[in-house]
Structure 1
Amino acid sequence: MQSLTNSYDLLKFLKEQNFIKKKPTYWWPSSNDFEILVGAILTQNTKWINVEKSLENLKKLNYLTLENLANSDIIILTNAIAPSGFKNQKAKRLKLLCKNIIHEFGSFEYFQKSVSSSWLLAQKGIGQETKDAIMCYACHQDYMVVDKYTARLLKRFNYEFDTYDDIQTWLVYGINENFDKIKKLYGYEISLNEVYCRFHGKIVEFMKRNPKD
């Protein structure tokens, strides 16, 4: 592997691989923002292919709206998301999250604009990675997602960090310090949120195709 001086070098390296050229703008494979939020919960401790099965079941039930999921039958919901594993736990947490969003924000659209990291972290079953995935992909805010692929890829470049926050800080600093270069690299007026989305997506796609050193 080539050497890196910062996360911009990593982004440039990954962009040259052309892995997500034909993917959706924000990479995450869902049809709408609320579906992304649901998927971020369901994908915990499972493969995305299993999440897709659960989402398809929810679509058939017309459960993929904030109000319908909040008012869903817990038994039907549990059975629908069974392919994603931990069905009882995830069903309860999804339903509670939706109820809390309605109680606190009134609508999903207002939630997207107004939610804070601390509010999401206070919700049962939401840790740092899930929180950042929701903030970045579902709410289109400027958050860089860190996952197991990120840490493993950085280790290949001889970068090792102690915590999630340390990795995120390193990634964010290189992007912000070189944002003018990144806009030139893409050749169009790209938002910081889109950079974070695509950067994380490139990391995931690269590691899926290159699982071993």
Structure 2
Amino acid sequence: MFVLTMYVMLLTLDDYKPTYQDRLATPGMMIRPKGNALEISYNSEDTESWDLYVQALDNFLAPYNESQQIMNNKDCTPNTYFIQEDAGEIRNNPKRSCQFNRTVLGNCSGINDRYYGYPDGQPCVLIKLNRVIGMLPGKDDQSPYVTCGAKVNYSQPLVAVKFLNVTYNADINVECKINSLAIANPTSDRDKFAGRVSFKLRINKN
């Protein structure tokens, strides 16, 4: 009986879209590299202390290489939604995403500066929005943007934040929030990751 129940349930699952999902309308936010307990702490003069952060960013951005983007994704028209509708019972799957080349992240792309500013005390932190299926983030020609205590180089789907003039040997608490007309309540008191992310940055120097 259990096997039959599982079989029937599996028949209802969609290979490309979850059958059930929560009602969370506000996307969560997360940073890369994450570090331990959302804390990025290192010594700018100690390569071993920041090399793991650099490796984590390299691995995370690998799918954003131009060759991978051209191969897997579509070169979409800027400022236009790329909507791929199904034709009745004919499913338009698998759907393709728009290209996002890491070069748009500028000095935080890891191309011009392969160490993302970490040994110079000007580290890059990437902020990403967790996907909410079916959400169209822009509204009234306004794209969503993220604000936090750092310089934002690009806003969607990754935000590259480069910290400048960081005070050494001190804890810096950072909170980044999403602002979008398409989201009624961009932050939630019940979920600290809904529409925002907080982390601590500390750069030591001998």
- The question of a shared fold, defined as TM-score above 0.5 by the shorter chain, is answered with no
TM-score (norm 2): 0.27
User: Which structure features the higher share of helix residues?
Assistant: 1
Structure with the greater alpha carbon radius of gyration: 2
TM-score (norm 1): 0.27
